[in-house]
Each structure stands twice: as structure tokens, then as C-alpha cells.
Amino acid sequence: MALLVDVNLLERFETTINNMIKYFIDNLPELVFCFIIFLVTVFVAKIVENRINKYSGKIQKRMRMDPTKFTMLKHVAVGFVYIVGLIIIFYTIPSLKSLSTTLLASVGLLGIVIGIAAQDTFGNILSGIALVFFQPFRVGDLITVGGYYGRVTDINLRQTTLLTSDDRVILIPNSVLNKETVINWTLDDPVVQWSFTVQISNNSDVDTARQILIEEAKKNPNVLTREVMVRKRPDILSVIRARVSGMDEKGTLLLLDFWVNDRDNAYSTEYAIREGILKRFAEEPAVSLPSTQIALATYEPLNVSVQNESH
């Protein structure tokens, strides 16, 4: 029975291959024309995209359109060119309809695969349109989604592109964005509270170390001052804080809190403050970093002798 099934599958596969070869031989001129139409479509799509990019400023100003909607409009225009090209190909070459029918009849699984792929594609397209019109975020916003944080650089009909702080490009399907929780760091209140810990030895002066942390944070131009925070977040009472957050045999942990404009500034600000703190600790005798102590122990060899007693 298994052998019979395998033979039938081989026969169907061979029939499909023969039909395809016969089709390509019988319709070679039409296929060449189809290829030419495809090249022309790609060429026209590139021209449309370049023209839109060239006059992007004038178009956005005249139509009063924000960058997010403009980006989507550009993708729709380019996609429309490709759709027109495909329509021309199928209406100019009617035999393509018989080819698609033959392939689907020969390999029924292909129809299921195409249906699933089309479902995902249309889901991404509808999600992309919803993102543009409801605008939970826009091009240029800083967002966190699915564990990724970055700046939105593009929103097209299929996916949204993020650029992370370490220059990685993250492509997220639009349908995923409609299901995941998205944090928009740019919306309404862009300021971000940032924290990091510094460990000192247990015999260090905690008050001196804490004062050094606060002073180094105040020196950094990216750290928001009290005057700025009063305008942005009047509910925040302590702009810069340094507190003891833990203690063990290795040392004492100090937690430094401060505010910056966005998370992109937060990373570079933290690194600069850490460097300043390290230099200040090296100059301050009352504060020292934890040190690892290694104890070496030596033992005298134990001499053991065995004596045999004869009875």
C-alpha cells in the first residue's frame, strides 16, 4: 500500500514537471514579454519612489501630512505600480490563468500554503494601515515592543522598522505590533528616569560616596535639573538621589537615580557619570572600591609509617 502511494506521488510530481516544461516551451514569447513587463514595472516603481523622496518636503507641506502618513503614502504609491504591472501581465497573457489552475490542481498543498501566506500578508497590511491612522507611534518615536527598544525609522504595509541604540535594524510585522504591548517613550512625556548601582567597600564613608555620586550626576549636561523638571514633571520631588540599596560581605551598593530626556541619552549619560565617579573615588581616601582577598595556606606534610608486627 505504501509503495502504491509513493508511485502515485511520483507520477503526480512527474506530471506537474512535464506540464510546466510544456508550458514554458509553448509560451516562450509570452514569457519573454512577461519578463519585459516586470522589468518596466520595477523601473517605473523606482522612478515613482525617487520622485516622491525628492519632493517629500513640498508634498508634506502642501498636503499637511506628518512623516508617518507620508511614508505610508509612498509605500502605497509604489505598491500600486507593482499591482498595475501584475494586472497588465495577467490580462495580456491569458494563458497564465491556465498555468495557475494546472499547478494548483497538480499540487493541492500549494493552495493551502498560498492561502496561509496571503492571510498573514493581508493581516500585516490592515495592521499597517491601522497604525498609520490611529498612530500609537510615529516615524521618529522611541518605542519598546517585544523586548526591543529603538527609534521608528519606517512603517510600511508589511512591517515596522526599528533602529536600536547599537545600530541594529529590527523588523517587526505590523500584525505583531497590534497584539504586543507598545511603550511609546516620546508620546506626551519623553523624560525618562534612569538608575544604576555603584559598589564600595564596607569600610568606606557612605555619606562621602553618596555626595560624589550626586555631584557627578549634576555635572553631566544630559541630566535634567530641578528647574527643567518643574516644567515637565512637577510631581517629582527628588530629581537626583543616591541611596544605599544593599550590603553584603563584598561591599555596599549605592543606587543613583536621575532624569534624562530620552533613553538614547540615558546610556551615554550613565557611562560618563560612571567614569567621573571612578576618578573621584581614586582621589578620595575615605572611599574605596571592594577588593578581592585571596588567602594562601600551606600545610606541613604528614609522614605516615606502617609497621608490620609478626606474632
* Predicted local distance difference test score (pLDDT) of residue 63: 59
Tell me the C-alpha distance between 279 and 249, whole Å: 24
Instruction: Give the start-to-end residue ranges of the domains of the chain.
Output: 2-106, 142-184, 192-283
**3 vs 244, residue with greater confidence:** 244
Name the β-bridge partners of 170. 162
The tens digit of pLDDT for each residue in 274-303 reads 999 999 999 999 999 887 665 556 566 656
Report residue 99 as a C-alpha cell.
Answer: 498555468
* Predicted local distance difference test score (pLDDT) of residue 3: 46
What would the CATH number be for the domain defined by 192-283? 3.30.70.100
CB-based contacts of 198: which residues, under 8 Å, 6+ apart? 209, 213, 253, 254, 256, 274, 277
Q: Is the distance from CB of 212 to CB of 221 less than 8 angstroms?
A: no
Tell me the C-alpha distance between 174 and 178, whole Å: 7
Sign of CA dihedral 231, 236, 241, 245: negative
**Banded model confidence at residue 100, pLDDT cuts 50, 70, 90:** low
Phi–psi pair at 242, nearest 5 degrees: -130, 120
E strand or H helix at 242, and its extent? strand 241-247
CATH architecture of 142-184: Roll (2.30)
Q: Is the distance from CB of 178 to CB of 127 less than 8 angstroms?
A: yes
**Banded model confidence at residue 200, pLDDT cuts 50, 70, 90:** very high
**Banded model confidence at residue 4, pLDDT cuts 50, 70, 90:** very low
pTM summary value: 0.45
E strand or H helix at 84, and its extent? helix 67-92
**190 vs 185, residue with greater confidence:** 185
Q: What percent of the chain has pLDDT over 90?
A: 22
* Predicted local distance difference test score (pLDDT) of residue 303: 63
Amino acid occupying residue 81: V
Residue 102 has pLDDT above 60, yes or no: no
Annotate 156-181 with DSSP letters as a single string. -SSEEEEE-TTS-EEEEEHHHHTTS-
Number of H helices, E strands in the chain: 10, 8
- Same topology for domains 142-184 and 192-283, yes or no? no
Report residue 64 as a C-alpha cell.
Answer: 499637511
